[in-house]
A and B are shown apart, each in its own frame.
Chain A
Amino acid sequence: MKRLLWIVLLTGCPKPPAAEPLAFQTLGSFEYKDKMKLPEDVARWNGKLVRASGFMNPTSQARNLTTFLLVKDRASCCFGKRPQINHYIEVKLKPGATADYASDPVTIQGVLKVDDRWDGDWQLGLYWMEGAEVLK
């Protein structure tokens, strides 16, 4: 038992994977066409733990948000402009977590899913992050 303890102490606990910084320019730098094959430099982010900064899009409520859109700039966040489908991430926070709307940029961390989801003729979204946390 002592020996096992020494092995654990010497090798250390496995570290959680570090989140990779993700820039919106990467996700939004192509012209999206319905049901297209996504560029390789976008698709490669699927399933990765990432950290992304942007602006929260305030929808119908401002407090205790459990989901929100993270958009790349202020213009699409606050002034009535709807962002392009490849210019935002639909963020769902960790179970039980909430966040209040902030007008300053925020950084979020979570696993990004690059998944062109459709319901019949209607596109649901392209970039998703579930179990996310707001870092600042």
Chain B
Amino acid sequence: MIFALLFLLQDSAKIVQEVEYANAKDKPQFHVQAVRKLRDRGGPAVAEEIAKFVAKNGHNSLSIAFTEGLGGLLDERIAALLRELVRDKEFYWRPTALRALAEQADRRSLEEFRAALGDRLWGCRAAGLLALEKLDDRVSIPRIRELLGDDVYDVRAQAAKTLHAFGDSSGLPVLVEALRANTVWFDIDYGQIAREDAWNFLKKVAKDDFGYKPWESVEERAPGLAKAEAWIAKTMPDWRSRVPEKARVRAEQTEYQFGFELRSCQRGDFFFRIDQEGNLVLGYFTLEKAKLSDAELQALKAALDSVKSVDRSIPYGQGGCDFEQYYLRTGTRFEKLWIGLQGRPTRVEPFTRVVLDLVRKKFGERTAEEFKQSSDIFRMSE
């Protein structure tokens, strides 16, 4: 009896340590291990300790690895916690919490998943789709079809895959079209990421890899691409006309003179560029353009001159997965200015204000609000 009690006490101390280590900011190397130990252990004692930890430390004390790991802990208290995390707009890892909830395929969270399809963060929209697929929620099919025309490739692709799981092939043209993806963001080849993803799915559906290799050059990919297009045309002769406007690949020949990349685990991403024709080009995959007037270009140039005066040989602010990066043209190449959380030098602020005004004027209040929300975390005063 005494031995059993001692064993329980020892076990309980281990659970406390594992929950702490899974979230310890100074022990990132232990996060994944601790989560694995907790998942292997499972049971009500783990759920109880997690509830205590969250009550004491708050939502934003949770690490991304831990949030992800909650998906493997099947317990009503954990599902309730994940719903709470998803509803908390200030929680850092909302898309991850939603993916964890999706892993649980919890029917009581159905409304959360349906609502996620309209979320501002693309990671939430994609996770919502995955969850509805797991729950076989065919009522949502009309809404899922709409997301085939989403701004972000990952959402469009997940919509196509979810529809396919429901026996609806209407999303396949989106994936076949993505085999032509050619988007490049300065030094990152997003086109290849999309091509690989689409090809990996299509080759399973077709039981044929078409001899296509997503990493090869346009010329080398051409025969495989023709084969894939012939394959879909056999069952869907009008497939091209079924590709929604935003999913259509366009030849991108434009030269850019400036780029702004904001990536935030907490708030979502925001990208824009200024091309040589003086257009403000929003997005990194599906691009939206707005022509700037001479006066607007002048204002932007003045603000950019201030950014260029900042020493870009050093990074600013805190390290982590939230940063903004400025691509500044110097001759034929681009130099980068990297700014982490709470690190934006004062001389960059005028640029942020000018951009906010331009985005509001050209793309509307909602897009401007998205930019502002994501951008605020880099201000020094935040």
**Chain A residues engaging chain B, CB cutoff 8 angstroms:** 58-63, 74, 78-82, 85, 90, 100-104, 121-125
Contacts and interface: CB of A to CB of B under 8 A. Distances in A.
A25 B212 CA distance: 23
B188 A74 contact: yes
B319 A62 contact: yes
Interface in B323-382: 323, 325, 336, 338, 340, 343
Contacts of A90: 29
Interface string B9-51: 0000000000001000100111111000100000000000000
Contact of B321 (A62, A78, A100, A102): A78
B93 A101 contact: no
A102 B187 CA distance: 14
Nearest to B316: A62
Given A59-B28, A82-B31, A82-B32, A103 B336 contact: yes
A122 B21 contact: yes
A74 B190 CA distance: 12
A125 B316 contact: no
Contacts of A58: 315, 319-320, 323, 340
Contacts of B25: 60
A90 B28 CA distance: 12
Interface size class of B (residues with CB under 8 A): 20 to 34
Contact of A62 (B265, B325, B338): B338
A90 B29 CA distance: 10
A122 B319 CA distance: 25
B321 A101 contact: no
14 contacts: A58-B315, A58-B320, A60-B318, A60-B320, A61-B319, A62-B317, A62-B319, A78-B263, A78-B323, A79-B265, A80-B93, A82-B64, A102-B338, A125-B29
Main secondary structure of the interface of A (DSSP, over half): loop
A59 B320 contact: yes
A104 B316 contact: no
Nearest to A122: B30
A92 to B, nearest CB: 14
Interface of B: 21, 25, 28-33, 37, 64-65, 93, 96, 187-188, 263, 265, 314-321, 323, 325, 336, 338, 340, 343
Contacts of A59: 28, 319-320
Contacts of A74: 188
A82 B33 CA distance: 11
A62 B343 contact: yes
Contacts of A104: 187, 336
Q: What are the 8 tightest A-B residue pairs by CB atom distance, in nearest-first order? A: A58-B319, A80-B321, A62-B315, A80-B265, A62-B319, A80-B64, A101-B315, A62-B340
Contact of B33 (A80, A103, A122): A122
Contacts, number: 66
Given A60-B318, A124-B29, A82 B65 contact: yes
A80 B319 CA distance: 11
Given A62-B319, A100-B314, A122-B21, 20 more contacts: A58-B319, A58-B320, A58-B340, A60-B25, A60-B318, A63-B314, A78-B263, A80-B321, A81-B64, A82-B28, A82-B31, A82-B64, A82-B65, A85-B32, A90-B29, A100-B315, A102-B315, A103-B336, A104-B336, A122-B33
A86 to B, nearest CB: 12
Contacts of B320: 58-60
Candidate in B29, B187, B263, B314 with the most chain A CB atoms within 10 angstroms: B29
Contacts of A103: 323, 325, 336, 338
Contacts of B28: 59, 82
Given A60-B320, A82-B64, A122-B21, A101 B338 contact: yes
Contacts of B325: 103
Contacts of A63: 314-315
A79 B319 contact: no
A101 B319 contact: yes
A76 to B, nearest CB: 10
Nearest to B341: A62
A64 to B, nearest CB: 10
Contacts of A81: 64
A79 B29 contact: no
Contacts of B314: 63, 100
A58 B321 CA distance: 8
A90 B27 CA distance: 13
Contacts of A79: 263, 265, 321
